Each structure stands twice: as C-alpha cells, then as structure tokens.
Amino acid sequence: MTEYLVYMTVKSEEEATRIGAELIEQRLAACANIIGTSKSFYWWNGAVQSGSETVVILKTSDNKIDLLISTAQELHSYDCPAIVAIEIKKGNPDFLEWISKEIS
C-alpha cells in the first residue's frame, strides 16, 4: 500500500477544522494537522492577490486518495482549492501501517 501526505489550504481555521473533521469521520484520512494561519500570494483572475489562509496536512493511502480529494473539493469554499497529494517514499513503518489501518 502507498501512503500520502495531502497538502491543502483553506480560508480559515474554522473551515480547516470542519473539513478535517469530516474527512476523519468518513475514514478518508487517518489524521489532519491544522498548521495555522499563513500569508499567501497568488495569481487569480488576472491579478496578484494576497490573503491569509490556513494549511491542513492530511495522511491517507492509495485506496482512499481519490475519494479524499473529491470529498475535500466538495466541502471546500474555494472555486479552485489547492489540494496536492505527495507520495510518502520512506518513513517510520509503524506509522505508515497505522495510516493504512485507520482508514480501512
């Protein structure tokens, strides 16, 4: 099984908590870390924008990654949310096994 870290930004800590809790409840992620407020600069609608966002890191595996991404998109308030899955190549084997166990 392949495990993933999923990086996502949302507009607020409240939204991060709501989405993270729902993904955990549905067992699409074993864990959600809410990192806190960050400052973001980005292109949107032809102009440079800036604002505060909250970073969320989720842990999941290949049998749930597609459903996690689609569910997060549905729950998200942005038109084009940043949701990126990064494959974990190495790590504590016990931790990686825990991720798979918790979402099965």
Does residue 1 register a pLDDT over 90?
A: no
DSSP code for 99: H
Question: pLDDT digit string (tens) for 30-52?
Answer: 999 999 899 999 999 999 999 99
Does residue 18 register a pLDDT over 90?
A: yes
Q: What is the distance between the alpha carbons of residues 96 and 64, in angstroms, rounded to a whole number?
A: 14
Q: Which domains does the chain have, with CATH numbers?
A: 3-102 (3.30.70.120)
pTM: 0.93
Question: pLDDT digit string (tens) for 69-104?
Answer: 999 999 999 999 999 999 999 999 999 999 999 998
Going by C-alpha positions, the residue among 82, 86, 95, 83 that lies closest to residue 30 is 95
